[in-house]
RNA sequence: GCUCCCUUCGUCUAGUGGCCUAGGACGUCGCCCUCUCACGGCGAAAACAUGGGUUCGAGUCCCAUAGGGAGCGCCA
């Protein structure tokens, strides 16, 4: 039997960390077992579904490299299937038409809540066998067993059992003829031959209802695995309405997909003490049985650490390539002059947490700056003039503009003036970068280039003369 | 309110009855390296929710309590 899993998001908002992680687990499971991964867009909510959200979902998956073997299927395009299936259930006595008004139902609900009862449909139309009428709106409800229980073996949580008396007769077709979630899921999982349903733990309570519908169709339900939810820093669920950030926001903030993937997979799943996983490794090692039962809080600091790790260790060509959009966005011209992007990456990779930060920090390699940063100015005092001039002369004579030659030049000037390296390096750093922070001075000078270095040193001498 | 789920350092986790005076990672703090910032190295503080059982022995099994989370729609 080939394994088939699916990711079935509803396009009612941007895809966030929680959703993409269940997609990831689902995807990993099929990739590990050589199965098929299906994408299904659950857009039966006409009110809230948007094209933009669908676009956002696909783009997020593409960015993280979660490719699918079938789909995307859109439920809104399969409405006939659901209607037919519902009719079939009515004929077989597993569903019925209900003409109860929304007003009556809200009233019922309020009353039950006031009585501290669990709100449920009272079965008013359950046994009336009402026919379809064109002049009056009705819904179709599933006829749930009143007694007995539903049990299943969850792959993450173990054996689970629910009393049928806790379930009520849920609406499967709305009065506008659109199907509802719990019904579409079953019809689709059945027709798409889904073998394993890996989804968020917020669906646990839906599972017994869905299993009953499967049974009504005389079909075997798939195997279920409910993965624990992701909580925010405050311990509350990460959701569209609460602190959830779009997956693409991480891309736009300069995170690498490798880092986010690694971070996400490790949130609720583990393989001994290992922290760093390549994509291939995760696929090879992933198993549902290693998923943790408890909900986890997402820690942005750890993501940052992983991002730094991948910025430092991924091929510099790859990083350079990923850096381009950020350079363009910041309008830094890296093509006409200055170091190549790859040289830049090698110089900055150990001091940037994100690609965006790297781009921001690269500015002085490509552009001359207008002024010195405020806290940098204190290094520019008249005392430095002699050795800055000496250094300038020594640079002018320098043929080889390399790290080694530059390092030697700096050291020689320091020796000549009997100063420690730090004493002269910092003022020069300020002179050429405008700030107190940069890669090692020799590397910084090398990347800025001879011409611009000398220009900026002349500029600092002018500045010093004026003060 | 009812139903269901969960509970090891601040956070992510290892741990499947003796190897645990509980290990790793992020973060925090200290030291070293050092031309700044980083990287790196070394080290420290930091947890089995509580109470009962079961057992020769419990973080590991059972039961209660507490705490947290989710669900209870003509949303998904």
pLDDT digits (tens, 9 = 90+) for A330-357: 999 999 888 999 999 999 999 999 999 9
Percentage of chain A exceeding pLDDT 70: 97
- Span CA (A308) to C1' (B28), Å: 19
Give the bases of strand B that a protein CB approaches within 7 Å. Answer: 1-8, 10-15, 23-27, 34-39, 68-76
Tell me the whole-structure pTM to 2 decimals.
0.91
Cβ atoms of A109 and A119 within 8 Å: the answer is yes
Instruction: Round to whole Å and give the CA distance between A139 and A325.
Output: 51
Question: pLDDT tens digit string along A4-61?
Answer: 999 999 999 899 999 999 999 999 999 999 999 999 999 988 888 999 999 999 999 9
Q: Supply the pLDDT for residue A385.
A: 85
Instruction: Collect all residues with Cβ–Cβ distance below 8 Å to A6 and sequence separation of at least 6.
Output: A26, A37, A38, A39, A40, A71, A189, A192, A194, A197
Given a cut of 90, whether residue A461 has pLDDT beyond it is no
Helix (H) or strand (E) holding A94: none
The catalytic site residues of A sit at: 240
Q: Supply the pLDDT for residue A422.
A: 84
Closest nucleotide to A173: CA versus each C1' = B74
Given a cut of 60, whether residue A237 has pLDDT beyond it is yes
What distances in angstroms separate CA A22 from CA A187, A226, A307, A358, A464, one per listed residue?
A: 21, 9, 21, 31, 60
Given a cut of 70, whether residue A240 has pLDDT beyond it is no
Cβ atoms of A21 and A227 within 8 Å: the answer is yes
Does CATH place domain A316-366 in 1.10.287?
A: no
**For chain A, domain boundaries:** 79-227, 316-366, 374-466
Kindly give the residue spans of alpha helices, DSSP state H, lying in A194-294: 207-216, 247-252, 257-266, 279-285
Cβ atoms of A457 and A392 within 8 Å: the answer is yes
- Span CA (A295) to C1' (B7), Å: 10
- Span CA (A75) to C1' (B3), Å: 30
Q: Supply the pLDDT for residue A466.
A: 76
Q: Supply the pLDDT for residue A244.
A: 60
Question: pLDDT tens digit string along A294-324?
Answer: 999 999 999 999 999 999 999 999 999 999 9
Exposure on the CB side of residue A451, measured as CA atoms within 13 A:
6
Fold adopted by A79-227: Rossmann fold (3.40.50)
The model's confidence at residue A236, banded by pLDDT at 50, 70 and 90, is low
Residue A416 DSSP label: H
What distances in angstroms separate CA A192 from CA A4, A36, A42, A195, one per listed residue?
A: 8, 11, 14, 9
Fold adopted by A374-466: Arc Repressor Mutant, subunit A (1.10.10)
Q: Supply the pLDDT for residue A234.
A: 64
Closest nucleotide to A293: CA versus each C1' = B6
- Span CA (A262) to C1' (B28), Å: 23
Closest nucleotide to A406: CA versus each C1' = B35
Mean pLDDT of A240-255: 81
Angle between helix A17-33 and A51-64 (nearest 10):
50
> What token pair was written down for A157?
């949580």
Given a cut of 70, whether residue A239 has pLDDT beyond it is no
Sign for the CA dihedral angle at A251, A253, A256, A260 comes to negative
Given a cut of 90, whether residue A362 has pLDDT beyond it is yes
* Residue nearest B27, CA–C1′ metric: A301
> What token pair was written down for A373?
């940063």
List, as one string, the DSSP characters of A425-466. Answer: HHHHHHHHHSSS--S-HHHHHHHH-HHHHHHHHHHHHHHHHH
Cβ atoms of A417 and A387 within 8 Å: the answer is yes
- Provide ipTM, 2 decimals: 0.92
């Amino acid at each position: 039997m080939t394994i088939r899993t699916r990711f079935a998001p509803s396009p009612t908002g941007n895809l966030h960390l929680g959703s993409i992680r269940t997609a990831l687990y689902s995807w990993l499971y099929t990739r590990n077992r050589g199965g098929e991964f299906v994408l299904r867009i659950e857009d039966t909510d006409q009110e809230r579904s948007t094209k933009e959200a669908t676009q956002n979902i696909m783009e997020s998956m593409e960015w993280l490299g979660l490719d699918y073997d079938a789909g995307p299927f859109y439920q809104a395009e399969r409405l006939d299937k659901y209607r037919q299936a519902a009719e079939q259930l009515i004929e077989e006595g597993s569903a019925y038409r209900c003409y109860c008004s929304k007003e009556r139902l809200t009233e019922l609900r309020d009353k039950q809540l006031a009585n501290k009862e669990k709100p449920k449909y009272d079965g008013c139309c359950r046994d009336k066998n009402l026919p379809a009428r064109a002049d009056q709106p009705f819904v179709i409800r599933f006829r749930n067993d009143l007694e007995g229980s539903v049990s299943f073996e969850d792959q993450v949580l173990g054996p689970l059992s629910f009393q049928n008396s806790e379930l009520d007769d849920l609406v499967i077709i709305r009065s506008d003829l659109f199907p509802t979630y719990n019904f579409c899921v079953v019809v689709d999982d059945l027709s798409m031959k889904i073998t394993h349903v890996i989804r968020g733990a917020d669906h646990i309570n839906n599972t017994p209802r869905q299993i009953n519908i499967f049974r009504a169709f005389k079909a075997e339900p798939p195997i279920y695995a409910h993965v624990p939810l992701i909580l925010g820093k405050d311990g509350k669920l990460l959701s569209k309405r609460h602190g959830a950030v779009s997956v693409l926001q991480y891309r736009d903030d300069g995170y690498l997909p490798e880092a986010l993937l690694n971070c996400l997979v490790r949130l609720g799943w583990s393989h001994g003490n290992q922290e760093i996983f390549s994509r291939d490794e995760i696929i090879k090692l992933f198993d549902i049985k290693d998923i943790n039962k408890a909900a986890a809080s997402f820690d942005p600091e750890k993501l940052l650490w992983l991002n730094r790790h991948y910025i430092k260790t991924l091929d510099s060509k790859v990083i350079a390539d990923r850096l381009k959009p950020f350079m363009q966005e910041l309008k830094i011209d890296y093509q006409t002059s200055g170091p190549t992007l790859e040289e830049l990456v090698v110089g900055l990779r150990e001091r940037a947490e994100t690609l965006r930060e790297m781009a921001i920090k690269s500015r002085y390699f490509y552009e001359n700056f207008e002024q010195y940063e405020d806290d940098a100015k204190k290094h520019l005092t008249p005392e430095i003039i002699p050795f800055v001039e000496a250094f300038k002369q020594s640079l002018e004579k320098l043929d080889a503009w390399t790290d080694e030659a530059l390092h030697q030049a700096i050291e020689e000037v320091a020796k000549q003036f009997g100063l420690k390296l730090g004493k002269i390096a910092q003022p020069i750093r300020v002179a050429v970068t405008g700030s107190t922070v940069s890669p090692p001075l020799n590397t910084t000078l090398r990347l800025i280039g001879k011409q611009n270095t000398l220009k900026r040193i002349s500029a600092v001498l002018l500045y010093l003369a004026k003060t």
